Amino acid sequence: MSTPQPKDLLFRAGGLTLERYGVPVWRRAPISRGGEEWKETFTRADGGTPVCALLGRDGLYHLVQQNALRVEYVPNVDVGDGLGPRTRATLLLEGSRINRLPQPLNFGAWALAGGAPAAVGGQADPFGGTGAWLLTDNSGAIAQNYSVVAAGLTSDGTKGMAIFLKQGTAAVTTVQVFDLTAALNRIAINVTWNGSAAPTLTIAQGVGQVWTPTPVPGAPGWWRIPFNGQGLVAANGNNFIVLPAGLVAASQGTVLAYCAQLEDGVFPSSPLPTTIFRQSDLLQVPIGWGGRDLTVLARFIRPLWADATVNLGAESPGVFDLGDAATNKVWSSSSAAARIWHWNVESGGASADAPPAIPAGAILDLTVRLKNSQTLAPFVELELSTGTLVGGAGTTQALKVFANPRMRVGGQSNGSNSIWANLLDLIVADGAFSRADMLALP
Amino acid sequence: MGQPCFLVENFFNRRMFPLHVGTGPNASFGDEEATGAEAFRIANARRWSGDRWMPITANVQHTLTVQCDRVRAANMVALDRGHNLAGEEILLRCSQDGGTTWETCFDVVLPTVVGAGTLDDNLGCRTEEGAWLLRFPSRAAARWQLVIPAMGVGLVPQVVGLWLGYAFAPQDGLRFPVAPDQTQLLLEETISEAGWRGRNAPGLVRTDTLNFKMGAQGLYDYELGRYHIQGLFGGGRPMWILYDDEQAHAAVLAIRPGNDTLGFARTPDWFYPQASVPWVEHEPLRP
């Protein structure tokens, strides 16, 4: 097959498209007078979630509007084009959940216990604003605290949580979820402050997980504290509590806090001023495919995480499944040591290789070739889960090709199998092309 | 020797981007606008100092803001001649949260004198006719804002023309011949029997033809050329032309001449698209 020409490209999308064409999705189409004929549709089930955050070109986090396609600049990305590591524009694919904590940004509205002084707002926050709050425990006799009751949990089980904290005068700060009905702590984590080094997280009570705190770029001292608690009961009152000076009654001190969250799901998601814990948004584009061979090149920066399998703190390998054995055949893949992974899938035939795990920091480079004999929609779904991918109507695809008229990138936010992905490049060509040809496209 | 660069996109041009809106009163781009000096004038390319945007309140910060219909990347800005911002500070910033928080793209004090400079200079470049151009590392956002801090007692900013968009820099450059400073003297004259010439006031207009000849990656550059050159410039919209981005002071604002033919073509002697694109200076200064 010859080198793909512009006429062969049904559309392209991603950060590289943005840097080349000035728009996140480019599709071959006549230029109408005075404007553009077509653009992508993008949906994001933000619900009540106020904002999410992403990394700007300046290396700092910036807040993002609801229901907006977001552009994140990822530093030190080497896409193998000979230019070396550079900051690259990407499309942040992240789903959304609803933060079940009322007033997640307004600690002044939280309940006070033990005679805690009122939270003091107007503090410098991790995003360059003044939205943070100073929380104080000034009693040597009782562990004073600030709390808010979660509302609207949809199910029992493990709930992802996070909060931004900055060391004040307290040596240890505790964050916990107390079940008001069962009268017990579902989870309580101690945040032991270590000066300029990352704080140490330990589970003091209850059952759950903690992950490595994430520093906030450009906001020295601010850390995002991610954790979860198991066994929460939706019907009970779940009180999210911050104890500035920890559980020890005699301890006193302060801590700065910003943006608490508690969500349905194993890992905390939006609002998301961090680099991890992402679900899939849904970018949808019509492709106008003519029914011939179809080649898809997709490159994501960093692994696509599966909510149920990923080890978040260590960014250990996730699993990426490509189709079921009967529908989509994996016909080559690179070694685990490669930084750039090339995966090729061809419709029809049995799967030749078991999809390997993707190392942390890898770039996923995926080429899918669909033969015209494949006429059922959807043709291909790439799903992140511990199970296999089926060619049917799934709901958690990372990438999905319908016969006509559209292609989906991202997934539907149903709260499961969330992914974290930065879409670098996605090219769909009308015809069968080699991976090398696709990668050579400017 | 640098590379050529062309800017024709303008997010503030609502004929080019009909779904773009301002965020000021009555969907104006400006936070304020005086009667007769409305903010829409920044994108009409009239190039007359009387046709400009001016806010009302002196000595306070003013802004020009556009909300795009989608996320768009920009890497170049141009202020047309006639502005009063030389020596003043301006900022360009973008927002992905509808203007609640902003990311600063650049924060510069505009040069007051013309100097040989590159388009990528930190301070941008003042052209020979008083315009100011700057190419910056591309950013992407749905909302863009030019910020003009307070200028001093009794002073309000005046912006005659403002371009913000994504510049086109063809990988294969331009082919010879190039004549960036070629001019045409426009006048009517009568020659007497004695050989004396009677002329009207002349017009001096820069004019040339851009010769695009795509190379190995030409088919893909053609996509961009088709959009920027054939679609937008070919549609009659003014375009900033820089033959050499290292000599940005010689930039010219050009339009497509009337009644010409323009289009990329593939000829028997060259596989990739090529085009000869004539241009004439738009609203030149009197010689």
**Is A62 in contact with B222 (Cβ distance < 8 A)?**
no
CB distance A23–B70 less than 8 Å? yes
Q: What are phi and psi for residue B250, nearest 5 degrees?
A: -95, 15
pLDDT score of A403:
37
pLDDT digits (tens, 9 = 90+) for B170-203: 988 899 999 999 999 999 999 999 999 999 999 9
Interface of A with B in 28-47 (CB under 8 A): 28, 31, 33-36, 39-40
Pull the structure tokens for residue A343: 């995966």
- Whether residue A339 lies within 8 A of chain B, CB to CB, comes out as no
> Contacts of residue A441 in chain B, CB cutoff 8 Å?
220
pLDDT greater than 80 at residue B169: yes
How large is the average pLDDT for residues B95-124? 88
Between chains, do A129 and B70 touch, taking CB under 8 Å as contact?
A: no
Phi (first) and psi of residue A406, to 5 degrees: -145, 170
Flag if B71 and A441 touch (Cβ within 8 Å).
Answer: no
Q: Which residues pair with A344 in a beta bridge?
A: A332, A367
What is the side-by-side strand order in the sheet with A321-322?
A: A41-43, A282-286, A406-410, A397-401, A380-383, A321-322
CB contact under 8 A, A6 and B142: no
> What's residue A43's pLDDT?
60
- Chain B residues close to A35, C-beta within 8 Å: 16-19
**DSSP codes of every residue in B210-257:** EEEE--TTHHHHHHHHIIIIIIIITTT--EEEES-TT-GGG-EEEEPP
Which of B97, B141, B222 lies closest to A51 in CB terms?
Answer: B97
Q: What is the pLDDT of residue B220?
A: 82
Residues of chain A contacting B70 with CB distance shorter than 8 Å: 23-24, 39-40, 69
**Backbone phi, psi, residue A138, to 5°:** -115, 20
User: Is the Cβ–Cβ distance between A148 and A155 less than 8 Å?
Assistant: no
pLDDT of residue B67 exceeding 90, the answer is yes
The whole-angstrom distance between residue A377's C-alpha and the CA centroid of its chain comes to 27
Written as tens digits, the pLDDT of chain A (442 aa) is: 577 887 788 778 888 889 988 988 876 554 444 345 556 666 655 544 444 556 678 777 777 766 677 788 877 777 767 777 788 888 876 555 677 888 888 899 999 999 999 999 999 988 778 889 999 999 999 999 999 999 989 889 989 898 999 999 999 999 999 999 999 999 999 999 999 899 999 999 999 988 888 788 778 899 989 899 999 999 999 999 999 999 999 999 999 999 898 887 776 664 443 222 233 344 555 555 555 566 667 676 654 443 333 222 222 222 233 333 333 333 333 333 333 334 444 444 433 444 444 444 444 445 554 444 333 222 333 333 222 222 233 333 334 444 333 455 554 333 333 445 677 877 777 776 776 777 778 8
- Tell me the residues of chain A between 244 and 303 that have a Cβ less than 8 Å away from chain B: none
Contact A34 B18 (CB under 8 A): yes
Which of A2, A8, A33 to mutate: most B Cβ within 10 Å? A33
Inspect the interface and report whether the beta carbons of B103 and A33 lie closer than 8 Å: no
A128 vs B contacts (CB less than 8 Å): 101
Neighbours of A377 (CB within 10 A): 14
Q: Residues of chain B whose C-beta is under 8 A from some C-beta in A?
A: 9, 15-19, 69-74, 95-98, 100-101, 103-104, 137-142, 165-166, 171, 217, 219-224, 226-227, 230-231, 235
Q: Is A442 on the interface with B (CB under 8 A)?
A: yes
- B9/A21 Cβ within 8 A: no
Q: Using CB atoms within 10 A of its CB, is residue A409 exposed (0-12), middle (13-18) or buried (19+)?
A: buried
pLDDT score for B275: 92
Q: What is the pLDDT of residue A283?
A: 53
Residue B96 to residue A128, Cβ atoms within 8 A: no
Closest partner residue to B15 (CB to CB) among A34, A54, A69 is A34
Comparing CA positions, the residue from B284, B204, B279, B283 lying closest to residue B242 is: B279
Interface test with B, best of A2, A9, A21, A54 (most B CBs within 10 A): A21
Å from B138 to nearest chain A CA? 7
Burial label for B73, CB within 10 Å (0-12, 13-18, 19+), is buried
Give the chain A residue whose CA is nearest to the CA of B95: A64
Q: Would the CB atoms of B97 and A62 count as touching at under 8 Å?
A: yes
Among A48-52, A386-390, B12-16, B213-217, name the most confident range: B12-16
Q: How high is the pLDDT of residue B171?
A: 85
Tell me the CA end-to-end span of chain B in Å, nearest whole number.
28
Q: How many angstroms separate the CA atoms of A15 and B61, rounded?
A: 34
A88 in contact with B at a CB cutoff of 8 Å? no
Please answer whether residues B139 and B72 qualify as being in contact, where contact means their C-beta atoms are separated by less than 8 angstroms: no
Contact status, residue A330 vs residue A391, Cβ threshold 8 Å: no
| Long-range contacts from A214-218, C-beta under 8 angstroms, 24+ separation | A214/A274, A214/A275, A214/A276, A216/A61, A216/A126, A216/A127, A216/A164, A216/A273, A217/A55, A217/A59, A217/A60, A217/A61, A218/A58, A218/A59, A218/A60, A218/A61, A218/A128
Residue A67 burial by Cβ neighbours in a 10 Å radius (0-12, 13-18, 19+): middle
CB contact under 8 A, A21 and B224: yes
Q: Which residue did the predictor score with more confidence, A167 or B269?
A: A167
Number of CB atoms found within 10 A of residue B19's CB: 12
Indicate the DSSP class of residue A3: P
**Does residue B77 surpass a pLDDT of 90?**
yes
